[in-house]
Amino acid sequence: MPPSAAAGAIFGTASETSTSTAALLLQDYDIEISNTRRTIERVPEDKSDWTPHPKSMPLGTLAMHCATMPIFGVYIVEDDGMDMATSTRPRIPLVFTTREACLAQLDETAAQCRAALASASDEHLARLWRFSFGDHIISNSPRSLTFRQMCFNHLVHHTAQLGVYLRMNDIPVPALYGPSADEQWTPPSS
């Protein structure tokens, strides 16, 4: 979905009118992927190792984390659960090389996740999805809730964190949910 259409979804002008769980999740999904893309587009290639604090993730690693997060949404939709101690799913390296490569990674994982979510039935999304690390249960909630918490909320959190990194490097922060100090935002015309 183009960014203008995603922004339009905020104001109820989206064309998807189905009330299926997947359709509702996809409305948010398209907006958040657009916001993440717009934020990654600002990541400077010469500051990928920059961190605001010794305990913080480097800027390039954080950008790649945002770009690869949608693949976790695929796992939530497609797998019966996940034990992080014994997961067989491959991990995508979080090595930042260029902004374009990071955006290409986001486009790839976002398309995979969108396709998985679009094909999921209400019944499938209502099933429990067990997420654990060995015997420690992190969550055992319906897939739809797990998707919102572990994919959406996680992505929003790190995209916002990336915005703070941009601000601390005097890089204009994009207007995502309204204007930023650097960029005005207006809803798209109908």
Alpha carbon distance 180, 161 (integer Å): 14
Joined together, the tokens standing for residue 4 give 């203008």
Give me the residue spans of the domains in the chain: 3-168
DSSP letter string, 162-184: HHHHHHHTT-PPPPSSS--SS--
Joined together, the tokens standing for residue 41 give 């587009």
Contact by Cβ (8 Å): 137, 86: no
Alpha carbon distance 34, 6 (integer Å): 7
| Burial status of residue 33 (CB atoms within 10 A of its CB: 0-12, 13-18, 19 or more) | buried
- Residue by residue, pLDDT tens for the chain (190 residues) are 444 444 444 444 444 454 899 999 999 999 999 999 999 999 999 999 999 999 999 999 999 999 999 999 999 999 999 999 999 998 899 999 999 999 999 999 999 999 999 999 999 999 999 999 999 999 999 999 999 999 999 999 999 999 999 999 999 999 998 899 998 877 665 5
Three-state DSSP class for residue 146: helix
* In this structure, CATH architecture of domain 3-168: Up-down Bundle (1.20)
Say what the pTM is: 0.86
Contact by Cβ (8 Å): 155, 36: yes
